[in-house]
């Protein structure tokens, strides 16, 4: 018996030493690197591809890579990254040759987007940057055409990239759960857009990556087989708003009580197009509206989601904000409509609201900007508030926006 206990103790010590050694290796080495491969991807830019690529980039790249100060894709802190993964910054993807992607080839861009491996350094891009192994070659060519275009968003800017600070958990997951994806062995065709379920699946899983945020746990995602992910589309992943407050993602399975099974197609189209849900409340940041999608594309996503397994997982409400009891009417409206979740409590979140008061000196203009934001910025993520906010609240919000600008001293 003593011999058995002795050997058991030795085995236990060996296991502890091995685990400890691996943990130390992960902590010291950090995010792993791999040998990048050379691939060939040719792109012929056309006006149609540039326009389509811009629409795709507005949904896939702009949200994370836009700096609210430069208003270009020069990179910024990822405000919605869950705290358990640490801090991270998106990269400068303008055409600057030193700090951006101006000296990258088309093939290198595609290689990174499809595999997650940096084509020049071999460094693995952590899971907070989406990978696109299922995006068609045509859509990929359109994205690259936009990145090479003369659009002001991607004009060269020599903004130095900032390095993030991933937690030990994030580093460990990059060794045991999140691995680089294989580069496709054959061309990826555009799906049949007349088959709404197939097209919706392509958009939800391949292009927009809806499943990653709306599944149950980032740590249990299956990048190769999304449908096998934990609580597929049932929500619950904890993300952050512009102030670092927790926002659990929503159940969008076919469940009629907790998901979108009871929604009408028109409800779903309106929500993604305007940012307003059937109950009249805005979608919660970091979820934003997608005006770039056609009604057909949105209805196709809806058709596909209705085919997903219904998971009766209740919606999780985020912790409420506390505002002063003597808050102004404008501040109350600002928090009532969740403006702070995007714009930040100071007015500087994913978009710079602090200078709006100076930019729109007339109250009538500022109110119109709040009421009809897409009239001023067609690609804006800001919800369309028409018929949702009262006339008095528009006036109160305009006053409060000016107060935020004065407090900032800008």
> Domain map of the chain by residue range?
47-176, 196-305, 329-408
- Residue 18 binned pLDDT confidence (cut-offs 50, 70, 90): very low
Q: Return the beta strands (E) in 241-330 as ranges.
A: 246-248
- Please tell us whether the domain made up of 329-408 is placed in CATH 1.10.760: yes
Nearest alpha-carbon partner for 380 in 288, 301, 287: 288
Radius of gyration of the chain measured on its C-alpha atoms:
23
pLDDT digit string, tens, across residues 119-175: 999 999 887 888 999 999 999 999 999 999 999 999 999 999 999 899 888 888 888
CA atoms within 13 A on the CB side of 358: 11
Q: Is the pLDDT of residue 20 over 60?
A: no
Q: Does domain 47-176 have CATH number 1.10.760?
A: yes
Residue pointed to by tokens 């997951």: 173
Average of per-residue pLDDT across 59-81: 90
Fold identical between 47-176 and 329-408? yes
Average pLDDT over residues 108-117: 96
Residue 5 CA to residue 374 CA, distance in Å, equals: 72
Averaged confidence pLDDT in the chain: 90
- The whole-number average pLDDT for the span 311-327 is 93
Query: Bridge-partner residues for 246, per DSSP?
Result: 240
Give the per-residue pLDDT at 23: 57
pLDDT at 11 over 80: no
- How confident is the model over 190-205, as pLDDT tens digits? 999 999 999 999 999 9
Buried b (16+ CB within 10 A) or exposed e, 227-253: eebebbbbbbbebbbbeebebebbbbb
The rounded distance, in Å, linking the Cα atoms of 134 and 224 is: 10
**CATH number listed for the domain at residues 196-305:** 1.10.760
Whether the pLDDT of residue 14 is over 80: the answer is no
What is the token pair recorded at 334? 């600002």
Torsion sign (Cα): 64, 126, 316, 232: positive
Measured CA angle at 161 (ends 159, 166), to 5 deg: 155
Contacts 24+ apart (CB under 8 A), 270-278: 272/298, 272/301, 273/298, 273/384, 274/383, 274/384, 275/381, 275/382, 275/383, 275/384, 276/383, 276/384, 276/385, 276/388
């Amino acid at each position: 018996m003593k011999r058995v206990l002795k050997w058991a103790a030795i085995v236990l010590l060996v296991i502890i030493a091995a685990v400890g050694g691996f943990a130390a290796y992960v902590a010291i080495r950090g995010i792993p690197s791999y040998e990048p491969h050379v691939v060939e991807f040719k792109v012929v830019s056309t006006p149609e591809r540039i326009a389509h690529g811009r629409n795709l980039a507005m949904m896939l790249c702009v949200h994370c890579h836009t700096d609210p100060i430069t208003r270009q894709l020069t990179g910024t802190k990822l405000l919605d990254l869950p705290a358990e993964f640490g801090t991270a910054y998106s990269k400068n993807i303008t055409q600057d040759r030193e700090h951006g992607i101006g000296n990258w080839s088309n093939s290198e861009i595609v290689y990174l987007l499809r595999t997650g491996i940096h084509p020049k350094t071999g460094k693995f891009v952590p899971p907070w940057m989406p990978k696109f192994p299922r995006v068609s070659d045509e859509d990929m060519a359109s994205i690259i055409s936009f990145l090479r275009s003369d659009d002001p968003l991607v004009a060269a800017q020599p903004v130095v990239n900032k390095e993030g600070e991933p937690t030990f958990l994030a580093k460990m997951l990059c060794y045991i759960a999140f691995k680089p994806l294989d580069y496709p062995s054959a061309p990826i065709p555009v799906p049949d857009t007349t088959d709404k379920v197939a097209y919706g699946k392509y958009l939800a899983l391949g292009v927009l990556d809806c499943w990653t945020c709306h599944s149950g746990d980032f740590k249990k995602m299956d990048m190769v087989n999304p449908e096998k992910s934990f609580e597929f589309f049932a929500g619950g992943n904890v993300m952050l708003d512009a102030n670092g407050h927790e926002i659990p993602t929503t159940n969008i399975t076919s469940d009629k009580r907790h998901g979108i099974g009871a929604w009408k197609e028109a409800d779903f189209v309106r929500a993604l197009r305007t940012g307003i849900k059937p109950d009249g409340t805005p979608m919660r940041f970091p979820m934003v509206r997608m005006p770039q999608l056609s009604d057909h594309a949105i209805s196709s996503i809806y058709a596909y989601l209705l085919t997903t397994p219904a998971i009766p997982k209740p919606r999780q409400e985020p912790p409420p904000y506390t505002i002063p009891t003597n808050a102004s009417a404008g501040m109350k409206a600002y928090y009532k409509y969740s403006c702070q979740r995007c714009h930040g409590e100071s007015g500087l979140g994913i978009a710079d609201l602090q200078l709006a008061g100076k930019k729109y000196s007339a109250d009538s203009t500022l109110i119109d900007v709040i009421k009809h934001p897409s009239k001023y910025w067609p690609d804006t993520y800001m919800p369309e508030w028409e018929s949702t906010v009262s006339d008095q609240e528009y006036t109160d919000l305009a006053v409060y926006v000016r107060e935020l600008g004065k407090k900032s001293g800008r």
